[in-house]
Structure formats: structure tokens, C-alpha cells
Amino acid sequence: NAGVMQNPRHLVRRRGQEARLRCSPVKGHSHVYWYRQLPEEGLKFMVYLQKENIIDESGMPKERFSAEFPKEGPSILRIQQVVRGDSAAYFCASSSGSLNTEAFFGQGTRLTVV
Amino acid sequence: AQSVSQHNHHVILSEAASLELGCNYSYGGTVNLFWYVQYPGQHLQLLLKYFSGDPLVKGIKGFEAEFIKSKFSFNLRKPSVQWSDTAEYFCAVNAGASGTYKYIFGTGTRLKVLA
């Protein structure tokens, strides 16, 4: 009875490296959402994906950030050439996409850029 | 565009005090409303949700929320808080049948309950 699984839980990257964050949704869920959490700023919506499609990426920075949710495998949030300002907790959530349903959250990945 | 406002960023209460956290949303159509709680170092967990019907919604751990459509509000309440309620609370909105189903969160309210 696995919920949303995110890995790694903690990720340390040097400036300029790439960060890859993975999210496996609740079994049977086809909708995935990524959020960034910074202290005092709450949860900022980044991107909403269905299998093989990006539905809404209005919260994604225009450069260096990308996300995918392939037909097989987990959803990936990729941050290229990380900078110190990318340090945050990144949460993934999933839902069935049905009307009137809640989102289920993973434990998050805490990214630290040194 | 949908948005959520939580007016209280930090709240400090003594045990047994009553709690009310404000939440207002901005969206003209049908909405689903949620309150989530995040205990220190943990992920977000659902406290309660409103989809339709009775505007007074009861959730886990003695929490309840009231949907007032005319005020675009969904305030969270608990009659008597406990030390274990220390956490961050997030209000969220998700557009209903007409929306894209993304969940928009407020900035959160950090509640500290003093023993």
C-alpha cells in the first residue's frame, strides 16, 4: 500500500551540476504535481503532468527546469546547472484526476546546493 | 487564475485554547477546498476536504472547517488545541468540473501550541 514515493530524500549538489528528483505516484494515479517549498513562502505550484503530457507548467522557471512523466516509470523533475537559490524542498503529489478527489503527497526531496 | 490567501502566518496558542485559521480563495466557479497539515519534518497530510453538500466539514483530530460561499472563505477551526497540533497548516483550492484540477496552496500558517 505504497503512497507517493520520492527519492532521494536528500540531495546535495554543487553549483553547476544537475539535480534529478524522482516521484512514483500512488498506484493507479495518472496525475502528478510538483511543488517547491521555501521557508515562509508556502507551497509554490510548479508543474502538473499526466502520463506523457505536461498539462500546466505555469509555475516552472523558464530556464534550467524541466519535468516529465513517461508512460513507464516515475515522474522526473530535472534541474540543470543548479544555483544556490534552487535549494528548497521539492514535493510531489499525485491524484487519480477524477472529479472531487484530493492530492496525496510524498515525503519530499530536500535539495541543497553548495 | 485561482489563488489562496491565508492571513495568519504565525499563530501561538496555549493548550486548550480555541483555534481559527483564515482562508480565502479567489475563483469564480465551482471549487474543491482542502486543509492539509505538515508536522515538522514530514509530508503534507489531508485534514479535511469540501466538495459539495453540508458547508460544515469535519476532519480528523477534531478539526472542522466551514465553507462560506458568499465570502469565498474556508476557515479551519478546532475548539481546543493540543501541543501535538503544533504544525504548519495549508489551505488549498482545486477548480471543480470546469478547471484543470491543479491544486493551489496558500502560504501556510505555522501554529505553535504551548504546553
Q: Using a CB-CB distance cutoff of 8 angstroms, which residues of chain A are in contact with residue B44?
A: 43, 91, 93, 105
Q: Please tell me if residue A108 touches chain B, with a CB cutoff of 8 Å.
A: yes
Strand order from edge to edge, sheet including A75-79? A5-7, A19-24, A75-79, A65-68
Closest residue of chain B to A48, computed from CA coordinates: B102
Q: What is the pLDDT of residues A12-25, one digit of tens each?
A: 999 999 999 999 99
Q: What is the mean pLDDT of chain A?
A: 93
- Look at residue B99 in the predicted model and tell me its pLDDT: 53
CB within 8 Å: A43 and B34? no
Minimum distance, in Å, between the CA of residue B16 and any CA atom of chain A: 26
- Look at residue B110 in the predicted model and tell me its pLDDT: 95
What proportion of chain A, given as a percentage, has pLDDT over 90?
A: 78
Cβ-based neighbour number of residue A39 at 10 Å: 9
Q: What is the pLDDT of residues B83-107, one digit of tens each?
A: 999 999 999 998 755 556 789 999 9
pLDDT above 80 for B78: yes
